[in-house]
Amino acid sequence: MQLFLVSEIVVLFTCFLYFLVKALEALGKNDLDGEKFALFIAELLYPVFGFVRLYGKTVIAEQVIEQESVVAKEILELSIAGRVSEPQTRNELNLIYQELTQTPTRITLGKYATFDTGLFLRIANQSVTYLIVLLQFSHEYNSSQMERTPQSPSDDNATHDACNCSVLLNNKTT
Written as one string, the DSSP assignment of 44-65 is HHHHHHHHHHHHHHHHHHHHHH
Residue 70: which domain range?
A: 2-173
**How many domains is the chain built from?**
1
Res 165 pLDDT > 60: no
Average pLDDT of the residues of the chain: 75
User: Does residue 48 surpass a pLDDT of 70?
Assistant: yes
- What pLDDT is recorded for position 11? 80
Q: Count of CB atoms within 10 A of residue 65's CB?
A: 15
With a cut of 70, say whether residue 159 has pLDDT above it. Answer: no
Between these two residues, 149 and 122, which has the higher pLDDT value? 122
pLDDT tens for 66-84 read 999 999 888 888 877 777 7
Helix 2-28 to helix 34-81 angle, to the nearest 10 degrees?
140
Q: Work out the number of other CB atoms within 10 angstroms of the CB of residue 6.
A: 20
